[in-house]
Amino acid sequence: PQCADLQAHHYETVLEAPSGSIVLASSDRDRHQVLRHAPAAWGVQFHPELTLPMMSMLMDALATDDDQHGHAQMRDTLRPSPEGPSLLKRFVAFARG
């Protein structure tokens, strides 16, 4: 699909794409959501392997009394990511050639 909801959780981002890399996908939150660095080297800023229930459990576990990152609020913004597993399977097939 041209656009998909996928699980993402990170405190850092790629501010500038490395020289020679190609930006393959971006989002409102991250200009460099997917990068290709070489014919067989990619970088992603999302988790296609995580489902909504898994991500909810992670946010619950990280939402402590001293939650400086707002994990409890993040949990409330999570959405299903039904394309994640099929995207991961297609990527594995592509990477294997």
- The answer to whether residue 37 scores a pLDDT higher than 90 is yes
> Where is 25: in which H helix or E strand?
strand 22-25
Tens digit of each residue's pLDDT (9 = 90 or more) over 52-90: 999 999 999 998 888 888 888 888 889 999 999 999 999
pLDDT score at 17:
94
* Domain membership flag for residue 10: no
- The answer to whether residue 10 scores a pLDDT higher than 90 is no
CA-wise closest residue to 34 among 58, 56, 59, 8: 8
* Domain membership flag for residue 15: no
Are residues 62 and 69 in contact, defined by beta-carbon separation less than 8 angstroms? yes
State which residues form the domain around 82: 22-96
* Domain membership flag for residue 30: yes
Tens digit of each residue's pLDDT (9 = 90 or more) over 40-56: 899 999 999 999 999 99
Q: Where do runs of H (alpha helix) occur along 1-97? A: 52-62, 71-77, 84-96
Quote the number of domains for the chain.
1
